[in-house]
Amino acid sequence: MTRKLVVFYSRTGKTKTISERISELLNCDLEEIVDLKKRTGIIGFLKAGKDAFLKKKTSIREPVKTPSEYDLLLIGSPVWAGSLPPAIRTYITYFKNQLPKLALIGTCSGKGNVSKIAVEIEKISDKKLSAVIEVTSKEVSKNKYENKIQDFINELKNIQ
């Protein structure tokens, strides 16, 4: 399992922090998924929750890297309204028929909620996730995630 790509969507930087750290430790490529819809401010926040809940897609910036050129795609995503941010839904749908093995880097505010987006990613991609890491926003704020990340990296070594 040599070629790995980390892609992530992050509205407030938590998923970005974890995704960047993982790509640094894996020494692999990294690409940010950019939602072209404004998601800042209170209106942006409310629309984000609504769009995620309604399982909407959005317009994203054209990705530069092609997932099919990698052996493993690690998707960094926050949980929004118990669901996927539209940018992640759009990205996975866009590359649906050319996805390699998948792993999930999930962040959320409440413990256990990443499992909700894990199920959705498996449904949309029609693939099983090879590994999942959940980091809460509190853990990111307090810098308490290195052990979890190390366990996750070790788990990735077992993927054939």
Ligand X SMILES: Cc1cc2nc3c(=O)[nH]c(=O)nc-3n(C[C@H](O)[C@H](O)[C@H](O)COP(=O)(O)O)c2cc1C
Please report how close the Cβ of residue 72 comes to ligand X at its closest, in angstroms: 21
With binding defined as CB under 6 A, does residue 55 bind ligand X?
Answer: no
Rounded CA separation 112/23 (Å): 23
How many residues does the structure list for the chain?
160
Beta bridge partners of 91: none
With binding defined as CB under 6 A, does residue 130 bind ligand X?
Answer: no
Residue with tokens 């409440």: 110
Please report how close the Cβ of residue 98 comes to ligand X at its closest, in angstroms: 25
With binding defined as CB under 6 A, does residue 149 bind ligand X?
Answer: no
Please report how close the Cβ of residue 59 comes to ligand X at its closest, in angstroms: 18
Beta bridge partners of 77: 106
Out of 48, 72, 73, 121, point to the residue binding ligand X (CB under 6 A): 48
Out of 78, 86, 87, 130, point to the residue binding ligand X (CB under 6 A): 78
Contact call for residues 137 and 14 (beta carbons, < 8 A): yes
